[in-house]
Structure 1
Amino acid sequence: MIQPCRERDIPEAVLLLELTSAADGRFRWRRALEDPGTRAVVAVDGGRVVGAGLVGTVPDFRGQSPIGLAVAPEVRGRGIGTALAGELAALASGQSGIFAMTLRDDLPGGLRFAERAGLAVVNHCTGWTIRLADPQALRAAAGEAAARSGVRLDETTMGESRDRFVAAAADSVAGMPTDTPIDLERFAAGMPDETVLLFASDAGGTAGVCLIRPDGEAGGWHTSYTGVVTRCRRRGVARALKLASFAAAAARGGTAMHGENDDRNAPMLALSAAVGMRRGLGYWALAGERITAPRRS
C-alpha cells in the first residue's frame, strides 16, 4: 500500500533513502522529510515501511528541487519502485523547474531506473578514501604544507562560523565545475552545528575552507567541501586544508576519511591522489524537468 509519509514513518523512511547515498546523509533526509514543503510517500507491506519517496518544493544547494526514492533490497522487483515513482510524478505534476537527485555509483540498476523515470546524468563525482594515521604526524604534515603556502590554519565549527563559511565558499566556488547555482546559505543551514570547519588564512583574510563531518560508521568521516578563494589558488592551500582535515578527524577518533570530487575538477582529483587517497564510493548527479512512472522492464 502506498500512503502519505506520517511522522512515525520518518525513521524507517530515512534509513531507506540513505541506501542511495554515497556518504552519510541521514540528517539531510530527516530534515527534508520534516520540511513542511516536502511531499513524501511510503510503501507499506505487512505494517512495515519497505519503500519511500519524496519531492521537495524548496531548491536544494544545487539550485534544483530535490527528490528521493528507495526500496528495501528484499522486496525489489515487485513493482514497488514503479508505484512510488508514479506517486511522485503525480505529486510533482504542478511543479515547474528542475528535479534532481544523487545516487551512489555502485547501483547500476538504480541508475537505469532513475533514467527510465525521466532523469538524466548531469555529472559524476569520483569517490576517494584514506585510512587515518597518527593525528600528531598528520598535524605536522599539515603545518608544513601551510607554511609552504603562506597560510595559518585554525579549527572551528559550523555553529560558530556559519557566516564565515558561506562567505569563503561563495568566493572559492567561483570557477569550480557546476551545472546549477549553489544556494550556499541553505547548504550551510542544513549542516549540524557541530560540523567541523578548517580555515586557512593569510594577511589578506580567509584563504580557503574545508568542511568535514562524521560519516555514519564508527570512525568514518566525510569531506563535504574544500575550496580556495580565487586570490590564493595555485599556492598549495588546498593541500594544507586536506591534511589539516585528516588531522582534525583523527584527533576526534576518526579512522578513515571519504570524499568525492567532480570528474571535471582535474586539480582536486590530482590533489586527492597526491595526498594518498584511493578511489572509493562516488555518486551520479541526475536531473530532469519531470518525473515519470517507468514501465516495468
Structure 2
Amino acid sequence: MTLTVRPFADADADAVSEVLRAGLPHLLATPELLRWQAARALGPERFGALVAEVDGVPAGVARTGLLHESAEPGLGFVNLTVRPERRGRGAGAALLAAAEQRLAGLGATTAYAMVDDTPADLAFAERHGYRRGRRSLLLRCDLAAAPPPPEPEPGVRLLAAADLPDPRLLYEADLDVSRDEPGEVGMDEIGYADWLAAYWHRPDLDRELTTVAMVDGEVAAFTVGLTDSRHDHRCGMTGTRRPHRRRGLARLVKQAALGRAAAAGFRHSVTVNDAGNAAMLGLNATLGYRTIAAQWRYRRDLPR
C-alpha cells in the first residue's frame, strides 16, 4: 500500500466529493462546491484541501483554512474525512500532520476541528493533542410532516432572499445575529465584499429557499437554505435581530422555508444546532427535527 498526501486539484472534485459523502452522509458536498472553495485559496479564508491517496485512489481529505471572521487572530480550522473502509491505516494521521503544517505556514496558532461523536473519532482527536469543546447536534426532519407556517402579523412581510432589493440587507442582519450565536469562536469581523464572496455567491446557497422577514424595510429575521440543487436540503443559520425577538419571527421564516423546500421537491431537511442552544433546539423539535448524529468541536494549540 502506497500512501501519499498532496494538494487538491480540480480533477479531484468528483472523487473527493464521493469521499466526503461516504464519510459524512449528511454533508452537502458537490464537485461544484469543492471547485468553488478551492478557487478561494487567495481569499481571506485561505481555503485549501489536501487529498490522501492510497495506491493512487483518493481515500481521505482535509479541508483547512483561517477563521478570518473572528476578531481573535491566529485561528484556523482543519476538518478531516476518511472513507470508512480506509480508516485506521494512517491516512488520517498523515492528513492531519500536513494540514497542521499548512495552517502554521498561514500564521495560525490554534487549530479547530469538528469531530464526529464516535469513540474512534474522539480517541483519534485526543491522541493527537486536541481538547474537547462544545457539542453540536445534527438534526433531520421529514418535510412532508412539517407544519404549515403561521400567517405573518401586520407589518411583517415574507420574502425569498432572491427578491431582496439589495443583499446588503441580509448582510447587516447576518452580522448582527452572528454576534449572539453560541460557540467558541466569535464571528463578527467580515466586510461586505468578503461576505458577498463567502456567502452570497456560494454555489450551494439557494436564494429562493433562503427566507427573510422584513419589518420597516430591514431584515428582522432570516433562515438560510442550502441545497445541492438535486436531492439534499440543509437549513443553515437562522436568527432574529435583537429588537424583533420574542415575536415568533424565527418560527415564521423557518416554517415558510421548509414549506418552500417541500414544494421544490425536497423530501428531508438537515440542520446543525449547538447543543447548548435550548431555544433553537426547542423550535426545531416542534418543526419535526430529530437528532441523528452529533459532533464535538476540538482545538489544539499549534507548535510555534
Normalised by the length of structure 2, the TM-score is 0.79
Q: Which amino acid aligns with 2:15?
A: E
Whether 2:83 is the aligned partner of 1:72: answer yes
Whether 2:48 is the aligned partner of 1:44: answer no
For residues 98 and 84 of structure 1, the distance between their equivalents in structure 2, rounded to whole angstroms, comes to 17
Q: Which amino acid aligns with 2:96?
A: A
Give the C-alpha shift of residue 52 in structure 1: 2.5
* Aligned residue number for residue 288 of structure 1: 300
Q: Name segments (4+ residues, structure 1) moved above 6 Å.
A: none
Q: Which amino acid aligns with 1:72?
A: R
3-state secondary structure, aligned to 2:144:
coil
| Change beyond 3 A, Cα 1:276–1:46 | closer
3-state secondary structure, aligned to 2:202:
coil
For residues 217 and 11 of structure 1, the distance between their equivalents in structure 2, rounded to whole angstroms, comes to 16
Q: How big is each residue's C-alpha offset from its partner over 1:117-175, in whole Å with a ceiling of 9 and x where there is no partner?
A: 2322321122222211289xx5xx3243x23x862211133997542221111222343
* Aligned residue number for residue 209 of structure 1: 222
Give the stretch that moved more between structures: 265-274 or 225-234. 265-274
Q: Which amino acid aligns with 1:4?
A: R
Whether 2:59 is the aligned partner of 1:53: answer no
Normalised by the length of structure 1, the TM-score is 0.81
Listed as ranges, the matches of 1:248-263 within 5 Å are 248-263=260-275
Give the C-alpha shift of residue 199 in structure 1: 0.7
Q: How big is each residue's C-alpha offset from its partner over 1:31-80, in whole Å with a ceiling of 9 and x where there is no partner?
A: 44444344543332222122223432x32556742213222222222222
Give the stretch that moved more between structures: 178-187 or 74-83. 178-187
* Aligned residue number for residue 165 of structure 1: 170
| Change beyond 3 A, Cα 1:24–1:40 | closer
Q: Which amino acid aligns with 1:197?
A: T
Which runs of 5 or more residues in structure 1 are unaligned? 292-297
Size of the aligned set, in residue pairs, is 283
Whether 2:103 is the aligned partner of 1:103: answer no
For residues 167 and 178 of structure 2, the distance between their equivalents in structure 1, rounded to whole angstroms, comes to 16
Give the stretch that moved more between structures: 118-127 or 237-246. 118-127
Give the C-alpha shift of residue 275 in structure 1: 2.5
* Aligned residue number for residue 267 of structure 1: 279
Contact 2:138–2:293 (Cα < 8 Å) also in 1:
yes
Contact 2:114–2:298 (Cα < 8 Å) also in 1:
yes
Contact 1:65–1:98 (Cα < 8 Å) also in 2:
yes
Contact 1:21–1:104 (Cα < 8 Å) also in 2:
no
| Change beyond 3 A, Cα 1:59–1:129 | same
Contact 1:17–1:29 (Cα < 8 Å) also in 2:
no
Which runs of 5 or more residues in structure 2 are unaligned? none
For residues 301 and 229 of structure 2, the distance between their equivalents in structure 1, rounded to whole angstroms, comes to 32
Q: Which amino acid aligns with 1:119?
A: Y
3-state secondary structure, aligned to 1:166:
helix
Whether 2:4 is the aligned partner of 1:2: answer yes
Listed as ranges, the matches of 1:133-212 within 5 Å are 133=144, 141-144=148-151, 146-147=152-153, 151-157=156-162, 162-182=167-187, 185=195, 187-189=198-200, 191-192=202-203, 194-195=206-207, 196-203=209-216, 205-212=218-225
**What percentage of residue pairs aligned between the two structures are identical?**
24
- Out of 19, 24, 27, the position equivalent to 2:28 is 24
- Out of 126, 133, 136, the position equivalent to 1:125 is 136
3-state secondary structure, aligned to 1:178:
coil
* Aligned residue number for residue 253 of structure 2: 241
Whether 2:244 is the aligned partner of 1:232: answer yes
